Amino acid sequence: MIRELSKRYLAELVKLNLLSLKSLEKKIGKTDPHWIKEYFEYTFKEGKVFGYFIDGKLVGCVGYVLNPYGGSAEIQHVLVNPDFHRKGFGNELMDFIEKYIKENHPEIKEFRLSVLYGNRGALDFYRKNGYSKRSYIMKKKI
């Protein structure tokens, strides 16, 4: 079952995110839980976050924010507990969020999302869901 979440799930969402990134630590390094929390807080403030529950347990989530300049929605936090991978839950979350955005924001003409460098599984997943690579996001630590 998928339902909208409130900020009271914030700590559980951060744990889910860290668990989901565990397999990528060798490629991307350890992820800062504070940054993850801030990112979820931003999504709660500017958009919505939904959780996927099985037997009352949060096993996945997805969120979105609308582009403030119009026309697109940024899909965020597409996460599934690794114990539940390859069972179709990620596809259900993507179908749900795309349908939800189309129904509630008919002005939206494009979905966007970002993928962590080196996350080959996510790249393949999004390609299978009809997404294509459009740009690179670059960063420089200072």
d(CA 56, CA 89): 15
- In this predicted structure, the answer to whether residue 134 has a pLDDT above a threshold of 80 is no
Query: Quick one: average pLDDT of 47-57?
Result: 96
- Which ranges constitute the DSSP H helices of the chain? 10-21, 25-28, 33-46, 89-104, 120-128
- In this predicted structure, the answer to whether residue 16 has a pLDDT above a threshold of 80 is yes
Its pTM stands at 0.84
d(CA 8, CA 31): 22
- The answer to whether the beta carbons of residues 71 and 108 sit under 8 Å apart is yes
- Which residues, at least 6 apart from 62, have a Cβ–Cβ distance to it below 8 Å? 49, 50, 52, 75, 76, 77, 78, 79, 93, 94, 96, 97
**What's the pLDDT at 125?**
76
**What's the pLDDT at 124?**
75
d(CA 54, CA 128): 24
- In this predicted structure, the answer to whether residue 30 has a pLDDT above a threshold of 80 is no
Please state, for a pLDDT cut of 90, what percent of the chain lies above it.
57
The encoded tokens of residue 124 equal 């393949």
Q: pLDDT tens-digit profile of 71-128?
A: 899 999 999 999 998 899 999 999 999 999 999 999 999 998 777 666 777 777 778 8
Separation of first and last alpha carbons in the chain: 43
Query: CA 53 → CA 12, 37, 40, 103, 106, distances in Å?
Result: 12, 20, 18, 22, 27
Query: In terms of CATH, what superfamily is 2-128?
Result: Gcn5-related N-acetyltransferase (GNAT) (3.40.630.30)
